[in-house]
Amino acid sequence: MKTITVKASQSYDVMIGSGLLNDAGKYISDVLKSRRTVIVSDDNVYPLYGEKLKNSLESVDFDVKEFVFPHGEQSKSHETLLNLYGFLASQNITRSDSVIALGGGVTGDLTGFAAASFLRGIDYVQIPTSLLAQIDSSVGGKTAVDIPAGKNLVGAFKQPRLVLADTDTLSTLPDTFFDDGMGEAVKYGMIWSSELFELIAGGNIKDHLEEMIVKCIDIKREVVETDEFDKGLRMILNFGHTLGHSIEKTQSFCGLSHGKAVAVGMYLMTRAAEKHGIITENISDRLKKCLEVNNLPYSVDIPAETLFRNSVNDKKRFSDDISVIICRTIGKADIVKMPIEDYKKLVTE
Ligand code: GLY
């Protein structure tokens, strides 16, 4: 088991290891004063791990209730959020009580946003059960729900009190969701660590899973500690995301999953930057091989014009310029601000 401490506006530990859920009650009781909590989970994850978590919490005298919602991105909505607020109110949850997110990114983002806003803020704990949530979304305090105008458009920064990443939960994750998380893992290698990239590119990542998760979280820790509120450095975590979000939007969020769309976005951006002389080293071929070895896509059947159009109202756009994340070498990312016209040429020509 490994513990990484994130020193943000509220500091907290991220614990990573096998079997953490068995002792979750103990770890959580160490950081929370109140013994009243609500587990928030979806109808896929709760049947797998809900009882185990509840028993562990009850063994250290927690009064536990559970709020279970239908799985899927469509639940990251105001409707589910309002139902959750209503449930918390009906249980007389007070400002000293807490919520616990048990699940993947949707659960973590929704629960985190409820925690940020209910009674103007209550404590929450993240127990991520997907690879993507363990290495990315559960750490760093970004919380959100979707609205019809776009994904994650309503949210808040709210750091959790504790993150428990039990690697055993990944054993029940279907392959396609595991691969999805690997898209974000490749991103961490590309933006920050050639050593991590090589570990992932070597294949057999399941033999090095805990090591990889720890490395990814430690990179996220360093980035979040430097720029918690996403005003500068943290933007590098969006490598591959501008085109990735465009792919997801073009496919009405029913095509490639997030991590896979990011994989394609990273490759297309890197290849385009090479073609336009922004990158002088040939790294796109190495990236492509790494994606292939990890069952990740690197192309998509969408015209470049459409990809461009659907990416320019991305949250990373400021006035007539756009901030594009480019890796000029493996293990290092730059934030390149350019006029939309230049960005259009980069993506379409
Ligand atoms: N997932 C990107 C961030 O946390 O900033």
Whether the CB of 237 sits within 6 Å of ligand 1:
yes
On whether both 239 and 157 belong to a single domain, the answer is no
The residue whose two tokens read 């796109």 is 284
Asked if residue 199 and residue 160 are part of one domain, the reply reads no
Residues 186 and 164 in one domain: no
Residues 138 and 19 in one domain: yes
Task: State which of 149, 172, 195 marks the end of a domain.
Answer: 172
DSSP 8-state secondary structure symbol assigned to residue 74: G
136 within ligand 1 shell (Cβ under 6 A): yes
Cα 129 to ligand 1 centroid, rounded to whole Å? 17
State the helix-helix crossing angle for 284-293 and 175-192, rounded to 10 degrees. 150
274 within ligand 1 shell (Cβ under 6 A): no
Residues 313 and 183 in one domain: yes
- Residues 132 and 129: their CA atoms lie apart, in Å, by 9
Q: Where are the beta strands (DSSP E) in 197-247?
A: none
- Residues 208 and 322 grouped into a single domain: yes
3-state secondary structure at position 1: coil
Evaluate: CB of 258 within 6 angstroms of ligand 1.
Answer: no
User: At residue 14, what are phi and psi to the nearest 5 degrees?
Assistant: -115, 115
Q: Which atom from ligand 1 is nearest to the alpha carbon of 234?
A: 5
Pocket test for ligand 1, best of 131, 143, 230 (most atoms within 8 A of CB): 230
Whether residue 42 sits in one domain with residue 112: yes
**Domain, as residue range, for 121:** 2-172
Q: Can you give the pLDDT of all 349 residues of the chain as single tens digits?
A: 999 999 999 999 999 999 999 999 999 999 999 999 999 999 999 999 999 999 999 999 999 999 999 999 999 999 999 999 999 999 999 999 999 999 999 999 999 999 999 999 999 999 999 999 999 999 999 999 999 888 899 999 999 999 999 999 999 999 999 999 999 999 999 999 999 999 999 999 999 999 999 999 999 999 999 999 999 999 999 999 999 999 999 999 899 999 999 999 999 999 999 999 999 999 999 999 999 999 999 999 999 999 999 998 655 555 688 999 999 999 999 999 999 999 999 999 9
Q: Assess whether 165 and 234 both reside in one domain.
A: no
SS3 257: coil
Query: How far is it, in rounded angstroms, from Cα 334 to Cα 79?
Result: 38
Q: Which of 172, 205, 240 is the last residue of a domain?
A: 172
Is residue 214 domain-shared with residue 309, that is, in the same domain? yes
Q: Which atom of ligand 1 is nearest to the CA of 136?
A: 1
pLDDT score of 319: 66
The CATH number for 308's domain is 1.20.1090.10
Rounded to the nearest angstrom, the distance between the alpha carbon of 164 and the centre of ligand 1 is 18
How far, in Å, from the CA of 230 to the mean position of ligand 1?
A: 8
Give the pLDDT of residue 314. Answer: 54
Residues paired with residue 40 on neighbouring β-strands, in sequence order: 67, 101
Counted domains in the chain: 2
* Probe residue for ligand 1, chosen from 238, 262, 323 as the CB with the greatest number of ligand atoms within 8 Å: 238
Structure tokens at 8: 């943000």
Q: Which CA distances in Å does 219 have to 108, 175, 213? A: 20, 25, 10
Cβ of 245 below 6 Å from ligand 1: no
Distance CA 326, CA 332 (A): 9
Residue found under tokens 């933006």:
191
**CATH of residue 19:** 3.40.50.1970
Q: Ligand 1, residue 223: give the atom nearest the CA.
A: 5
* Pair of tokens at residue 159: 């750091």
The pLDDT value given to residue 316: 53
Q: Tell me: do 50 and 194 sit in the same domain.
A: no
d(CA 144, CA 153): 7
**Final residue in a domain of this structure, among 141, 172, 203:** 172
Whether 108 lines ligand 1, by a CB cut-off of 6 Å, is: no
